[in-house]
Structure 1
Amino acid sequence: MTSLLLRVIAAAAVLVSAVDSRDLGAQSGQAAELWRAGRALALRGQLDSALRTLEQAGSAARTSGDLATEQATRRGRADLWMLRSCADSSTVILREAVTAAPPGDRSSADGLVRLLASRKAVTEARSVLVKAYGDVPSVGSNITRESITFLQGMAAVELAGGQESAALSTLNSALAIAVRLHEGDVKDRSEHAVGEITDENAWLMFDLAQLRRTAKSPAIRSPREHARIMANLVKAWPTLDVLPDDGFPITRFVDRLVMRAASCAGDGSACPAPIVAKGCP
């Protein structure tokens, strides 16, 4: 009798475990679906709807223990508050995201570095960058994705400090790494490259284009080069910007809407401006 009772208890435990697993999987799936819906709304410029949807996604992710999706929603929400000109709110969210980031996820730190740099908080931006990549051997010189994103962050910090020549040099170093990383990729390179734009260098080329447009130095500023790079990016974007659900997606909704506007200008279509409500939390 005792043996039978133990077998029943064990079977019930397995059943409960299986049900819990399915429930968590369903909740996690709901969080990811809400995340994708919020992302789509953001890229259509429907900022308030996107913000509400990403908040729902974050709540669902917390319930299911899906930390990767929860972090992605934080990055997306920070981008949306930036689009609403609420930089303080964005900073708070990204600082929380950096603190909560799982090992290996530096995307929130990358976003915080860009935000701090845009606000000319050079010292803090550099500190966040160095801390985020402090455990990566030979970062900035090894042929890795981490080296590319680290150098992108460093260029943003240098530019915030008024060092345009240094920022240009840093971006060029990152581009050289991106070329070698692309050439060494085992998958068919033609599948993730359109002309000079590749999966490895697309955001680098975007940053370089913006530097060419906004630089104060006549030796660096080049409207023609900016236009050339942006035209290549517009051509490549539908192929390369697939926004994979890999746990650490690059949101950069502000910059994606810049690309959206460039794409609309390129094909002559109407591209409505983002719908921005007033007020910050």
Structure 2
Amino acid sequence: MIVLVTGVNGQLGHDVVKELEKKGHTAHGADRNEFDLTSEADVKGYVQKLKPDAIIHCAAYTNVDQAEADHETAYNVNALGTKYLAQAAQDAKAKMAYVSTDYVFDGSGTEPYEVDEPTKPLGVYGETKLAGETFLKESLEQYFIVRTAWVYGINGNNFVKTMLRLGKERGEVGVVADQVGSPTYTVDLAKLLVEMVETEKYGTYHATNSGICSWYEFAVEIFKQAGLDVKTNPLTTEEFPRPAARPKYSVLSKKRLEEQGFTPLRDWKEALSAYMDELN
């Protein structure tokens, strides 16, 4: 299978390409040097030339706080870029997987969010990713929407790397303790995305590593596994103000994933341990 992977220089795109190659597919990792995602002509031309069997769309505008001030760029990348890719996929008769986010929900829930629950983004990032979902559904029949959360991987910056750095530099950190979700290791998510595009089980899915924690509990586990003695102080969201509102409860239900026979992602602590090995 010939597979186009956008955002190859990001955390997830990097691991998706590795997983595709491991499974004997021909992976074409693309970044902004290959084509401009926000240019319809660019996207169309690139996909026409490549003739992929599938597209795994990992590229995104992910700076949640900056998106509040830069609505236009976030919309062009997350919404229009997805639309152009989906239209090109339709023309090429290719299937497409789009990586979306827990930020499509407002986080006021108390039970894991099912795939068909009403969406209500709190900010620009969530709005633009949701607009991407809508465009994808309108443009293409052979699609997978995979909503994930709290992503970390070897390639790029993330919460784990930040905690390790701050822990070593300061010996004491404050971390938000009233936002709850599930971390997701890109190696595990990449395996699932490749497994998906090898099937015709189209639709919307939720995928994170299993288990639930707060950011504070995540940080405590990071220091424990790294063998670092760091004083970790729990903060409230109010004590750590950010330009963009965060969902307080981001737990995503994996029911659909299991119903369709996909392999659920392992426990988040186990995944973190594998990541620590990869970092070392």
TM-score normalised per structure 2: 0.29
- Structure number with higher relative contact order (C-alpha < 8 Å, ≥ 6 residues apart): 2
Query: Which is higher, the Rg of structure 1 or of structure 2?
Result: 1
Bigger helix share: 1
TM-score normalised per structure 1: 0.29
